[in-house]
């Protein structure tokens, strides 16, 4: 078939799509992925201090960070468990209507926009779903094939190897993590851009999810799922 989205001839062999266009980055990502201004995130691997292989940049970033405040390396901001339906784009619109289905479906008013929430448990989805983003084959995994969200333990392994337990150490590490900021769950406005890094894990506890945060300090914290945080993918 001719895929008009990626402008490439594709054919199905066994259990995967193949194409005649050489290395086509669109095919690395799940079907239905909506790419923001920079298009597909280039898939380049880097080995972390713990010996695990990661993507060398945030999802949505156009380059590897050249500094902690390199805007081209910030990438997108995801609500926890959501597919890459366009909501993660930093300039996406907002809606106060909670999703009632986790998987995007054409016609849903909330698809492709940031879902705001100001009441407990501050989730974009009703009811909550703990099966999202769980492993390489997990529902709504936004990472390219063979990659997934890191667990809390995997983030801590990287953090414990940093030269300093703060934003300087995060950038000096093999992952070159920038302070990409976040989006406010109550109104979708950006905050902490250039001063904090907030990176989701796949680990949840009750209504909240564990994430890596760094600024003048660094540690694992937990917060509500309606927040918009960065995603860095780990090879399974």
pLDDT in tens, 41-75: 999 999 998 899 999 999 999 999 999 999 999 99
- Asked if 6 and 120 sit in the same domain, the reply is no
Region 102-106: what's the mean pLDDT?
Answer: 89
- Asked if 187 and 227 sit in the same domain, the reply is yes
- Asked if 90 and 107 sit in the same domain, the reply is yes
- Asked if 21 and 61 sit in the same domain, the reply is no
- Asked if 74 and 139 sit in the same domain, the reply is yes
Q: Give me the number of domains the chain comprises.
A: 2
- Asked if 99 and 11 sit in the same domain, the reply is no
- Asked if 36 and 132 sit in the same domain, the reply is yes
- Asked if 101 and 73 sit in the same domain, the reply is yes
- Asked if 14 and 64 sit in the same domain, the reply is no
Per residue in 120-173, pLDDT tens? 999 999 999 999 999 999 999 999 999 999 999 999 999 999 999 999 999 999
Residue environment code for 2-25, b if the CB has 16+ CB neighbours within 10 A, otherwise e:
eeeeeebebeeeeeeeeeeeeebe
Task: Give the residue numbers spanning the domain of 36.
Answer: 32-236
Local structure of residue 17 (DSSP, 8 states) = E
- Asked if 23 and 42 sit in the same domain, the reply is no
**Residue 203 CA, distance from chain mean position:** 14
Per DSSP bridges, beta strands 94-95 and 197-205 are: unpaired
Instruction: Measure the CA–CA gap between 159 and 219, rounded to whole angstroms.
Output: 8
Across the chain, mean pLDDT equals 92
pLDDT higher than threshold 90 for residue 219: yes
- Asked if 192 and 137 sit in the same domain, the reply is yes
pTM of the model: 0.90
Per residue in 113-123, pLDDT tens? 999 999 999 99
């Amino acid at each position: 078939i001719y895929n008009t989205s990626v402008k490439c001839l594709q054919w199905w062999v066994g259990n995967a799509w193949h194409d005649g266009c050489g290395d086509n980055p669109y095919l690395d990502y799940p079907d239905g992925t909506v790419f923001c201004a920079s298009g597909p995130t280039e898939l380049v691997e880097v080995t972390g201090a713990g010996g695990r292989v990661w993507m060398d940049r945030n999802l949505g970033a156009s380059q590897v960070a050249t500094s902690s405040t390199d805007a081209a390396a910030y990438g997108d901001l995801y609500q926890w468990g959501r597919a890459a339906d366009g909501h993660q784009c930093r300039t996406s619109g907002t809606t106060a209507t909670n999703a009632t289905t986790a998987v995007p479906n054409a016609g849903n008013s909330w698809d492709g926009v940031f879902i705001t929430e100001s009441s407990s448990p501050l989730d974009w989805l009703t009811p909550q779903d703990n099966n999202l983003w769980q492993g390489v084959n997990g529902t709504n995994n936004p990472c390219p094939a063979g990659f997934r969200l890191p667990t809390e333990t995997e983030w801590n392994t990287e953090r414990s190897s940093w030269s300093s337990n703060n934003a300087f150490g995060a950038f000096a590490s093999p992952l070159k993590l920038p302070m990409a900021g976040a989006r406010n769950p109550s109104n979708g406005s950006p905050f902490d851009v250039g001063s904090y890094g907030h990176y989701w894990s796949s680990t949840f506890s009750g209504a909240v999810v564990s994430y890596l945060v760094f600024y003048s300090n660094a540690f694992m914290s937990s917060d509500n799922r309606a927040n918009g945080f960065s995603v860095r993918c780990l090879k399974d």
